[in-house]
Amino acid sequence: MDKRQVKRVISSMNVDMGGLISRQPLPNGPVQQLDPFLLLHHTGPKTFEPENRGLPFAPHPHRGFETVTFIFDGAVEHKDSTGVQSTIHKGGVQWMTAGKGIVHSENLPNSMIEHGGEVEYIQLWINLPAKYKSLNAKYHGLQKADIPEVSLGDDFSKVRVVSGSYDGVDGAHDSVTDIQAFEIYLSANGEVKLTPPTDHQVLFYVLEGDLEVNGHQVSAHQLVQFSTEGSDIVVQAKTKSRMLYCTGSIIDEPVVSHGPFVMNTQTEIMEAMRDYQSGKMGIITL
Ligand code: MN
């Protein structure tokens, strides 16, 4: 079989966001994006003590891309300027298409701020092509039970199909840009073969475990960059492992980003800043 060649194995750096430390394998060093994937933050597993300060994500805007939050432990409460308030628990996903603009806050629910608890999540930023940057903003909250699972032989080993399809099972989210997004769980000595769509970029991040991926050793908190040619990815777990695997069409447009805005030109960034400041992206009234 024609395998996808591993181009690089990228370790995470730590980033400090208002006192919250997260791992960031993307962007990092020579890999500033894996078109269409822009940024990955992995937070936790981490214990929040009782009477904690929650997450440092008070109301802020986004325009021009999607933010997808995979919640592996704890819960995240989202509120936004379209009037949505949504708390998603362990095993769920928050898929937000910012499109032409939205203001949202992301925090632990009040009960977790009061009593504390375990938290682990990934936030992934996925770019939108120019033709979709002006879509109306849309939030899609998926609880654990909404996401189909395909067993890989034992209780732990499975593919959770968030978006796209695996082994004939359709995901819970209908991606506007054909993104595939799977959470993959393997017991020690477990194996899975993945076949990304032709010409899709692959994002492969290890949350936990030691693996061999198309013959390369990969460990927890590393991101694998693959060639965009070739077909199969064979993943063999040496220890109990958890991974995030996504694929997407390469957009191949200029990327100009400034904080929470990702556009094609500097002029569009200036427009975004002006539109946010003048209230055109709305306010949270919840
Ligand atoms: Mn945000």
> Ligand 1 centroid to 98 CA: how many Å?
9
The verdict on residue 1 lying in a domain is: no
Q: Which residues have a Cβ under 8 Å from the Cβ of 92 and sit 6 or more positions away?
A: 71, 141, 142, 143, 144, 146, 147
Q: Is the pLDDT of residue 187 over 90?
A: yes
pLDDT at 18 over 80: yes
The verdict on residue 226 lying in a domain is yes
**What pTM was computed for the model?**
0.98
Q: Which domain holds residue 201?
A: 6-277
CATH number at residue 48: 2.60.120.10
Mean pLDDT over 280-284 rounds to 95
Name the domain count of the chain.
1
Q: How many CB atoms lie within 10 A of CB 55?
A: 22
Q: How far is the centre of ligand 1, averaged over its atoms, from the C-alpha of 102 (Å)?
A: 9
In this prediction, residue 1 carries a pLDDT of 59
How large is the average pLDDT for residues 186-214? 97
Render pLDDT for 105-162 as a digit per residue (tens, 0 to 9).
999 999 999 999 999 999 999 999 999 999 999 999 999 999 999 999 999 999 999 9
Domain membership of residue 259 (yes or no) is: yes
Query: In this model, does residue 25 exceed pLDDT 90?
Result: yes
Spacing, Cα 174 to ligand 1 middle (Å) = 20
Has residue 284 been placed in a domain?
no
208 assigned to some structural domain = yes
